Structure 1
Amino acid sequence: MSIRLKTALLSGILLAILVSGLGGVLWTVVRPGFQDIERARAADHMTALLAAISADIDSIGTFILSYSSWDETYAFVRTGDPTYVANNLAVEGAKNAQSHFALVLTPKGRTVFSRLWNDDFTATLPPPDAAGGGLPANHPLMAALSHPEGVRGLLQTPRGPLAVAARPILPSNEHGPPRGVLVFGRWLTHALSDHPPLPHLSPLRLWLAPAPGDAPENVRRLLAADGPDLEIDGIGEPTSLVTAGIRLVDLEGAPVAALTTTLAKTVEPQGESIIRLALVIAALGSLGVVAVGLVSNHLMIVAPLRRLESHITTLSRTGDLDTRLVLDRKDEIGLLARAFATMQGRIRHLAHYDPLTGLPNRTLFTMLGEGALARRRADRNGGGRRVGVAILDLDRLNTLTIGLGQGGSERALVAVGRRLAALAGPADVVARGGDGRFLVLLGDLAPAQAGSIVEREAAERLASAFAKPFTPDDLVGAPLSLTASIGLALFPQDGETLETLVTHAEVAVHQAKLLGRNNFQFFDDTLNRQAREILALESALYEALADNTLSLCFQPRIDAVRGHAIELKALARWDHPSRDLIVLEDVLPLIKQDGLLAEIDRWMSNAACRQIRQWRDQGVSFPPIAIALSARPLTAGDPGLAPIAEAIAANGVDPGDLAVEIAQSAIKGQFPETKAPETQAPEDRPAEELPWPDGLAGLGLGLVIDVADAGVVSPALLRRFPLTRLTIGAALVAKLPDCRESRALVRALIALADELDLECLAEGVERGDQADWLLAAGCRLQQGLFHARPQDQTVILRWLGQTPPRGLSSPGPRDRKQDGV
């Protein structure tokens, strides 16, 4: 989900929450205010109605005032003169005064005159005092005797409430005690219909107490004994009208009637409309704010981030770390862009420079090298100037790491890089190629017509970096001499592309390593062909191991004195698809992959042990079988030795039936030396034997050291390993008996073996004169074509059964190569 969509979704949610919250606030807080106003309006109307009724009653009280203080009325109470009645209290006078009730009482409540008319003055009705001929002294109307201003209010009658006013009857001078009470009254219904107090109200309805059965609930509440004085219903309900009612009470405070009316709502609907309009305006305003926010968000956040995302995508796709993104902003987006630019610069540095030495790495070297080659190709006026690629590989890097530790070896690499950079020319590039390898681009070499002096000078200049020992300032330790093998390839004669030049320089480095290290070599196409052949050979050998197309053959080792085989040398034979049969021992020196050599050792161990097991199961009698491990370097705990013990255990082989040959070069310098105590003379120090290499200890195998063809033997190995035999290589034997140096070396080795009580075996005996000379020199154990060729198991068993004894005489100088039985 994009940021824009997330922002829109979040804004929509916030808008909904905002509008909902605002609506809730308006509906729960503001709307009740409008309802209160509506309720107050209805209450004001009803209060005005009540005030109008009170005013009508007051008008009766004002009208009665003139009668109560009239001397004729004062006299009428005493005399009961009919003329007074006819002139003042007859029906015509009642109509004019709109007084339906007239009552004259003595101070004791006896009726002097009482008359009650119906609403239209067409008939008389029984007055309230008709039943008893007067009113009791505690009647509310009698209270007018003690109140000069009289009493006013409603008087309940069987026909409904009367609005009455009562005043004491006094003489005109208002001196003397009251002579009676004068009461005038008017039907409340008449006052409300013929003389409505508030004409703008809807028709009023009068409900007489007690409440009838069809009375609504609000009326029932108003007419209840403890009912409210005012009742307003319909506020907040889905109706357009408000029902309002007031409670009318008599002179004693008891409810006599309830007046109800309906009013059209005005404030509440307007308030709700205002609230809805406010919500619409708020929603539209919020939408506008959200729209402005989205646009601002797009312009200020999304668009810059998309530019940054596009830049990162392009960067990841093209790998072009030189393209920069510029966002001239001072906000967080600008900070992010600047932080990314800083990170990009750091990545560019890490991508192009070695973090240890600070030199360009192989990536930058490739870029600069391709550029240099392109310029040379395009420079037609360059006079044929050339470009060279040199690879420097430090010698004995593993030994350096073990001796100095990881930190020390890294400091050595830094020191070498500084020296090479100091020797580089203006057009040269020094880069680190990994591990102990450095790449140098020689960007400006003289044309080929100048001879090979220029490139040799360039090679010697690079080699001079190692001419002087590295000082303690370089390594934080003792001075150290380092060497390197250097390979060079030149453009255009050695290749047209940088990849080709680097590959050919690798071949030249390899050749320098083969020639003893600490030298430089120029590429030769012969080396390239050899390298391709070796790679093809290794690849085919891997396939042969996977397809199990190797087989064992055996070559007898002869006791030349007794004339019988004392051991069988197991050899791997390979049916090569284009070279016919190959004895694997002949091609092992060409193989450089330690992993392939280890696999061959594993195959040899398993195949030899399986053959021993098979012959033992068949009851065949045979001498011990010897296998030779490859010349790859072995160390204590080397996993390549474990398969020998595993093969012995898996096949149930007697270790006495197996001998293991290890080349001197494979273990020389690889195992720690134990020094004898310094207090003893060298000749008195006991020979301390090293234990067998890990994986072979305690198996009882015969350990044989194969001496290098140069004839040099390490005394430490002879003293410190539990050896049983010394083997003289075929290269020394091949020069016998004519070469004086070979004769001297072989005699020395025979004498050394005899002195150390070791057997001595000579390999590569191909002629009779070699066999005779070795036997005369004291080497009776021999192997070679003179005695027998390698044969498969069937032929070798027949050979073993038919080998004649030779006696003790010399065999003579004839060639005795045997092809089998």
Structure 2
Amino acid sequence: MKKILVIEDEDFVRENILDLLDVEGFEAIGAENGQIGLSLAKKMIPDLILCDVMMPGLDGYGVLTAIRQDALMASIPFIFLTAKAAKADFRQGMELGADDYITKPFTRAELLGAIASRLKKKAALETLYHTELQQAKEELNYLIHHDSLTHLPNHLSLREQFKQLQPKDTSDEKLVTVLSLDLDRFNQINDNLGQAVGDVLLKAVADRIKACVGSPGIVARLNTTQFAIIRAFDRQGDCPTQYKREVGNLAQTLLNSLSQTFELANQELFITASIGIALYPRDGTEIEQLLNHANTALTQAKQQGGNQYQFYTTAFNIGSSDRLALQSSLRHALERHELLLYYQPQVSLKTGEIVGAEALVRWQHPERGLISPDKFIPIAEETGLIVPIGEWVLKTACQQTKIWQNAGFSHLRISVNLSSRQFSQIDLRHQLVAILMETGLDPKYIELELTESMLVHNTEVAIRRLNALKSLGVEIAIDDFGTGYSSLSYLQQFPFDILKIDRCFIHKITDNPNNAAITKAIIEMAKTLNLKLMVEGVETESELSFVCQNQCDGMQGYLFSRPLPSHDFAQLLKNNKRLPLPINSTK
């Protein structure tokens, strides 16, 4: 029953209206003045208000103003009853928010018609409001449970859907598998082509994953580049081998699909992925436990080079414990003098003579022996220990080079790698100045090596820092060039002196026409920019012949020498070891 409040100071008029409304089936309440009417309105929150304009004390305009200022009553339909029929009076009421005007005297039909019209309009608005509210709730619920970019389920939704797939007992005919998939080196696409292209690629990746998994499975996006897949497989009797084979086939299908070319933004993009797999109930019965184990297997797949899948095994946890132990030991490695520098000779391809060395850090652990950089450098990067380690490497390499120069090898150069954290340090230039003053090494004999991924995050800042370092007289080398996704043309933006060609382009180059073509293009581009060329990883005579024929400036690699401790490197210098150059190489 609709409630209508009648505010009217004339008793006869008010009672007539109340009787009429009672007969029509409304719940009608009367108020003899504006103040009482406003009080009743706050208590009962009527569906509609009929109010006289001219009343002693608080008039109709005052009542309407108070009603519209109250959040609970602001939308109540409000109809004025008045003997004033001037346009100015109507306008004043409408500006205050009145819904209608009925002039006295009025007929029964006029009154009921106005009430019906306003209640109908209110009902329509309420229906619209509730519809919009329901839509908003549904949209909010969707956003809470889905990724906004790919529209895939998110982590929260994944947990809820896993509960629905989770077998009720071990006799269930379905076996559930959780796959954790992460894109390899995706940040290089974002860094070099921009986030917009990266977002388009992620949506295309999501589509391919869904197509591979199919409707029985669940695909969710957990973070920027990581996806989770839940898939139930039919139980193959008691044969776990067949089950794992089916899971492995799905994982390989995903890897094969994602490694195919993506044609986006008028260019071809290539991406690979790594996958970790956890099996229910062997590896866990809860989704978070299964995801953690799948992520552990994923990390293992990435550490082995990516573009592959790994099943979780408990042996991986042993590796995690070992990593924590290394992290703890690394914190004391510097103070205990456990770090060593090895030096890989750099040889001129004009004369075959040793012209310099690249300083490479090693860790002589008191219990584990020599630990390779592949194991401890990532830990140093994660923990921030790379900063003091990098400073020690730079200082030690400069000291050793000065010793060799004083021993008669006056033009020997030293090449030192800078980490991303080092390069980001505000006081890097001051550190380098202090080291040069302490060691007495002329800065023109120092090459600082940086990778391209360190420079593309903020080009302007990177250029400013590089110029500040070059102003000291050192040379800047770009390391691992071409292993990312960036355009070769970006080189000209930076003040480089040397370009180092990564060994992945040189390895078995005579058997790989594509690598040969790419490497020749890099060489020609570097020459156009007047950059010196140093080739890494030269291991065979055919590789040496290629770099000599293409007039590179220098090389380093196992064909001449592995990285050596300082005393062994000094022996090479004393013995004047030279690289035999191909007879037909261009001098």
User: TM bucket by the smaller chain?
Assistant: 0.5 to 0.7
User: How far apart are residue 492 of structure 1 and its match?
Assistant: 1.1
Answer yes or no: is 1:296 the counterpart of 2:110: no
Match for residue 169 of structure 2 among 373, 379, 386: 379
Q: Structure 2 CA distance, aligned partners of 1:761 and 1:751?
A: 14
Give the letter for the 1:672 counterpart: S
User: How far apart are residue 441 of structure 1 and its match?
Assistant: 0.9
What's the counterpart of residue 746 of structure 1?
Answer: 540
Provide the identity percentage. Answer: 20
8 Å contact kept, 2:258–2:273: no
Q: Structure 2 CA distance, aligned partners of 1:622 and 1:643?
A: 33
What's the counterpart of residue 417 of structure 2?
Answer: 629
Give the letter for the 1:346 counterpart: E
8 Å contact kept, 1:573–1:582: no
What's the counterpart of residue 672 of structure 1?
Answer: 487
Match for residue 648 of structure 1 among 432, 441, 455: 432
What's the counterpart of residue 143 of structure 2?
Answer: 350
Give the letter for the 2:394 counterpart: A
User: How far apart are residue 353 of structure 1 and its match?
Assistant: 1.3
8 Å contact kept, 2:262–2:269: no
8 Å contact kept, 1:508–1:527: yes
Q: Counterpart of 1:350 in 2: which secondary structure? A: helix
Q: Structure 1 CA distance, aligned partners of 2:541 and 2:224?
A: 44
RMSD: 5.7
Q: Counterpart of 1:434 in 2: which secondary structure? A: coil
Q: Counterpart of 1:392 in 2: which secondary structure? A: strand
What's the counterpart of residue 486 of structure 1?
Answer: 275
Q: Higher mean Cα deviation, 426-435 or 658-667? A: 658-667
Q: Structure 1 CA distance, aligned partners of 2:355 and 2:261?
A: 57
User: How far apart are residue 490 of structure 1 and its match?
Assistant: 0.7
- For residues 494-541 of structure 1, what are the alpha-carbon distances to aligned partners after superposition, in whole Å with 9 as ceiling and x for unaligned? 223211211222233334444554433322333343245336545764
1:630–1:485 Cα change, 3 Å: farther
8 Å contact kept, 1:602–1:644: no
Give the letter for the 1:350 counterpart: L
Give the letter for the 1:648 counterpart: L
1:783–1:519 Cα change, 3 Å: closer
What's the counterpart of residue 299 of structure 2?
Answer: 510
Q: Structure 2 CA distance, aligned partners of 1:805 and 1:364?
A: 68
What's the counterpart of residue 417 of structure 1?
Answer: 206
8 Å contact kept, 1:432–1:439: yes
Q: Counterpart of 1:346 in 2: which secondary structure? A: helix
Q: Counterpart of 1:379 in 2: which secondary structure? A: coil
Runs (5+) with no aligned partner, structure 1: 1-282, 306-328, 675-688, 730-744, 764-773, 791-799, 810-821
User: How far apart are residue 716 of structure 1 and its match?
Assistant: 4.5
Q: Counterpart of 1:666 in 2: which secondary structure? A: strand
Give the letter for the 1:784 counterpart: L
Answer yes or no: is 1:788 the counterpart of 2:574: no
Give the letter for the 2:172 counterpart: G
Match for residue 587 of structure 1 among 369, 373, 397: 373
- For residues 284-311 of structure 1, what are the alpha-carbon distances to aligned partners after superposition, in whole Å with 9 as ceiling and x for unaligned? 988865653443259999xx98xxxxxx
Q: Structure 2 CA distance, aligned partners of 1:474 and 1:615?
A: 49
Q: Structure 1 CA distance, aligned partners of 2:344 and 2:310?
A: 42
Match for residue 179 of structure 2 among 390, 397, 402: 390
- For residues 396-433 of structure 1, what are the alpha-carbon distances to aligned partners after superposition, in whole Å with 9 as ceiling and x for unaligned? 53465578765554444334434443454554212222
Matches within 5 A, 1:271-286: none
8 Å contact kept, 2:479–2:499: no
Answer yes or no: is 1:519 the counterpart of 2:308: yes
Give the letter for the 2:310 counterpart: Q
What's the counterpart of residue 658 of structure 1?
Answer: 446
1:526–1:646 Cα change, 3 Å: farther
Matches within 5 A, 1:314-333: 330=123
- For residues 37-78 of structure 1, what are the alpha-carbon distances to aligned partners after superposition, in whole Å with 9 as ceiling and x for unaligned? xxxxxxxxxxxxxxxxxxxxxxxxxxxxxxxxxxxxxxxxxx
Q: Structure 1 CA distance, aligned partners of 2:417 and 2:574?
A: 31
8 Å contact kept, 2:181–2:227: yes
What's the counterpart of residue 152 of structure 1?
Answer: none
Q: Structure 2 CA distance, aligned partners of 1:620 and 1:648?
A: 21
8 Å contact kept, 1:393–1:485: yes
1:647–1:475 Cα change, 3 Å: same
Q: Structure 1 CA distance, aligned partners of 2:442 and 2:126?
A: 78
User: How far apart are residue 557 of structure 1 and its match?
Assistant: 6.7
What's the counterpart of residue 497 of structure 1?
Answer: 286
Q: Structure 2 CA distance, aligned partners of 1:537 and 1:451?
A: 36
User: How far apart are residue 442 of structure 1 and its match?
Assistant: 1.0
Instruction: Give the structure-1-normalised TM-score.
Output: 0.41
1:392–1:571 Cα change, 3 Å: closer
Q: Structure 1 CA distance, aligned partners of 2:185 and 2:573?
A: 51
1:456–1:572 Cα change, 3 Å: same
- The one of the two structures with greater contact order (alpha-carbon pairs below 8 A, sep at least 6) is 2
What's the counterpart of residue 604 of structure 1?
Answer: 390
What's the counterpart of residue 77 of structure 1?
Answer: none
User: How far apart are residue 447 of structure 1 and its match?
Assistant: 5.4
Q: Structure 1 CA distance, aligned partners of 2:137 and 2:127?
A: 15
8 Å contact kept, 1:433–1:439: yes
Q: Structure 2 CA distance, aligned partners of 1:396 and 1:421?
A: 21
Q: Structure 2 CA distance, aligned partners of 1:478 and 1:703?
A: 26
Instruction: Give the structure-2-normalised TM-score.
Output: 0.55
What's the counterpart of residue 442 of structure 1?
Answer: 231
User: How far apart are residue 388 of structure 1 and its match?
Assistant: 0.7
Q: Structure 1 CA distance, aligned partners of 2:36 and 2:535?
A: 99
- For residues 247-290 of structure 1, what are the alpha-carbon distances to aligned partners after superposition, in whole Å with 9 as ceiling and x for unaligned? xxxxxxxxxxxxxxxxxxxxxxxxxxxxxxxxxxxx99888656
Aligned residues: 429
Answer yes or no: is 1:457 the counterpart of 2:268: no
User: How far apart are residue 351 of structure 1 and its match?
Assistant: 0.7
Give the letter for the 1:533 counterpart: D
Q: Counterpart of 2:151 in 1: which secondary structure? A: coil
8 Å contact kept, 1:353–1:364: yes
Q: Structure 2 CA distance, aligned partners of 1:567 and 1:420?
A: 49
Q: Structure 2 CA distance, aligned partners of 1:479 and 1:339?
A: 43
Matches within 5 A, 1:78-477: 289=37, 292-297=40-45, 330=123, 339-373=132-166, 376=167, 378-379=168-169, 381-383=171-173, 385-395=174-184, 397-398=186-187, 406-424=195-213, 427-446=216-235, 449-461=238-250, 463-464=252-253
8 Å contact kept, 2:479–2:500: no
1:575–1:340 Cα change, 3 Å: farther
Q: Structure 1 CA distance, aligned partners of 2:522 and 2:385?
A: 26
Q: Structure 2 CA distance, aligned partners of 1:808 and 1:478?
A: 48
Give the letter for the 1:360 counterpart: P
- For residues 596-633 of structure 1, what are the alpha-carbon distances to aligned partners after superposition, in whole Å with 9 as ceiling and x for unaligned? 4996377425652477479979x97686563442799x
Q: Structure 1 CA distance, aligned partners of 2:338 and 2:499?
A: 24
Q: Structure 2 CA distance, aligned partners of 1:485 and 1:803?
A: 43
